Amino acid sequence: MQGETAPTMKSFTATVNGSESTEVTANIADSKVTLALSTYTKEYALTLEPVAPYTTEGYAKFDYTETWIKNGYGNDNSKGWKLSRPLEEASNKRISEGKNRMYMFVGAGDTLRLYTASGIGNDRKVRISIDGEVKVESQNIGKWVEESNVHMDIVTNPAKPSMIEISNLSNGDAGFEAAEFIVEHLDSTDMTLSDLQVNGQTVTGFDPTKLTYDVELPYGSELPVLTATANRPYSIVTIKNTTTLPGSATAVVTCLKGTEQTYTVNFTVAEPAKSDDATLSDLQVNGQTVTGFSASLTTYNVTLAAGTTTATVTATTNDSKATVDINQAAALPGTATVTVTAENGTTQAYTVKIAVAEPAKSDDATLSDLQVNGQTVTGFSAALTTYNVTLAAGTTTATVTATANDSKATVDINQAATLPGTATVTVTAENGMTQAYTVNITVEEPLSSNADLSEIKVDGTDVTNFSADVTTYEVIVAPNATAANVTAVAADSKATVSITQATSVPGSATITVTAEDGTQKTYTVNIKHDNSGLSEHVIDGLLFDGRMLHNDMMLTLNIFDASGRLVLTTRESIIDLNGTVQGMFIVRSGNAVIKFVK
């Protein structure tokens, strides 16, 4: 058979030209067997070509010549191989004695059933040998007819391929007339498996007669691979693996005759085992992963920054099917507990002990406020350490107070012993650092009430007999003066002086002096003309009738009242003085002056 080791050829006895017991030896080389007969001058060569295993519905047909050459396949019989007589006997359709040894090769452990064609005489006898060992001697083959179900069964060597020899024992004309041996391969209908495996392991409960199996794969398995081994090497096994899970795979066994049988394996996947993972993948306090966190470490000590007043513990499980219950710390310092419950109910507790760090001692030795007599010092700044403070006039005491920026700092104040004087504020920070603030305190001088004048001048000349205590003065100016300029100087430089000048001469100027404290004092300067040098003249063309002044020459006239105040300047010819002046009045025209009495 193809792929199998050829059977070992042994020496045997052949019948050559009617003479038996001729020793025949076989020499095997290069796939050829040369038969050398000791009493016969002709060599016979047997060429053994590879024969395909029994895997098709075709049946091997062997036609043997004297050189015993197998020449191919045939499909003219539905049972098995058909062995024909030698071609050289085709003319007389006989296989005569001494010329009819026929050979065939079969696979290891095959079972063959031999028939003969109908019409062979009952006296035809054969010898059948397997690998040189005679199994049938002088067997009458006339009864081996398929139609009557008379046959000969031959079981070959189970360990290796075998060579079967069929020898004609009939004499003379008792050859095999049109002899045909029909060899049925009894195992050609075997559609069973000898093994059925999933992923290299035989399916549990495998039985060649059992065609359906249920296999549960572990959770997470990849697609399984089904393999199968046919019970017979010439059977064909076709595997169709599943492409899904759950799913089914099949192994179809096709026997030599072409009949099929299907083995089916139904695959399911086991439910995953519930996880026992009760560990955490993260543990945080106030949003920060705990230092040194490890899923296997269950106790932690956490110190929060100084001043922290709350702590929130959060946790993340390694397994999404696990649950977390957190019992937060009720106060700080305190302890939080995280309980993780795995999918299968397993629990594990993580403990977080939380403390708060002591704050670092402050070095803040600055002030947030600095006051004198309850008022914040003007321009106060924590960084400015020296101040000059002036208190209101008359202040007799000064109290400095100060507030530290840091409540843990202390303040020591050394008040000014007198006024003016200096106060010192010393701030000591929590860590002992110090800083001094200096407040220099002065008191304003009291406001002056001095509203006196130290001098009065009229047109630059000091008023005669001026005295600060005398508030009214009469000043004589030149007869022709029309105005007079009054000036004054306050006795106190902090006092102010306001002067209202006389609008005419004669007239009065008023001087108001306001002291620093607001005290006021008024001085009055009455200004008159000096008429002592004037002479009375008759002015031509000027006549007063007691009511009307007649100015026939239309002179320019300046009319003054008795105090010397100019009341009218005119060139009119008739001047009505009613309501203008009373008593004495003076009329001036140039240097001429005349007095009238009304």
pLDDT in tens, 30-70: 433 444 444 433 333 333 333 333 332 333 333 333 222 22
Task: Say whether pTM exceeds 0.85.
Answer: no
Q: Which of 333, 338, 339 is nearest to 353 (CA)?
A: 333
Structural contact between residues 425 and 435, judged by C-beta atoms closer than 8 angstroms: no
- The residue assigned the tokens 């309501």 is 579
User: What whole-number distance in Å separates Cα of residue 211 and Cα of residue 398?
Assistant: 117
pLDDT category of residue 544 using cuts at 50, 70 and 90:
confident
Displacement of CA 373 from its chain's centroid (Å): 62
pLDDT category of residue 550 using cuts at 50, 70 and 90:
confident
pLDDT, position 108: 62
Tokens representing 550 are 């007649």
Structural contact between residues 575 and 548, judged by C-beta atoms closer than 8 angstroms: yes
pLDDT, position 441: 96
User: What whole-number distance in Å separates Cα of residue 291 and Cα of residue 301?
Assistant: 9
Structural contact between residues 375 and 392, judged by C-beta atoms closer than 8 angstroms: no
pLDDT at 71 over 70: no
pLDDT, position 138: 66
Range with lowest mean pLDDT among 102-106, 164-168, 271-275, 336-340:
102-106
Tokens representing 359 are 């704050």
User: Exposed, middle or buried: residue 275 (CB in 10 Å: 0-12, 13-18, 19+)?
Assistant: middle
pLDDT, position 10: 37
pLDDT at 451 over 70: yes
pLDDT tens digits, 276-298:
999 999 999 999 999 999 999 99
pLDDT at 533 over 50: no
Q: Pairing state of beta strands 410-414 and 421-428?
A: antiparallel
pLDDT tens digits, 308-334:
999 999 999 999 999 999 999 999 999
pLDDT tens digits, 380-399:
999 999 999 999 988 999 99
pLDDT at 145 over 60: no
pLDDT, position 543: 77
Q: Which residue has the higher pLDDT, 186 or 519?
A: 519
Structural contact between residues 553 and 541, judged by C-beta atoms closer than 8 angstroms: yes
Cα torsion 28, 32, 34, 35 to 10°: value is 90
**What's the rounded mean pLDDT across residues 403-430?**
95
pLDDT, position 235: 79
Q: Helix, strand, or coil here: 463? A: coil
**What's the rounded mean pLDDT across residues 341-353?**
96
pLDDT at 536 over 80: no
pLDDT category of residue 468 using cuts at 50, 70 and 90:
very high
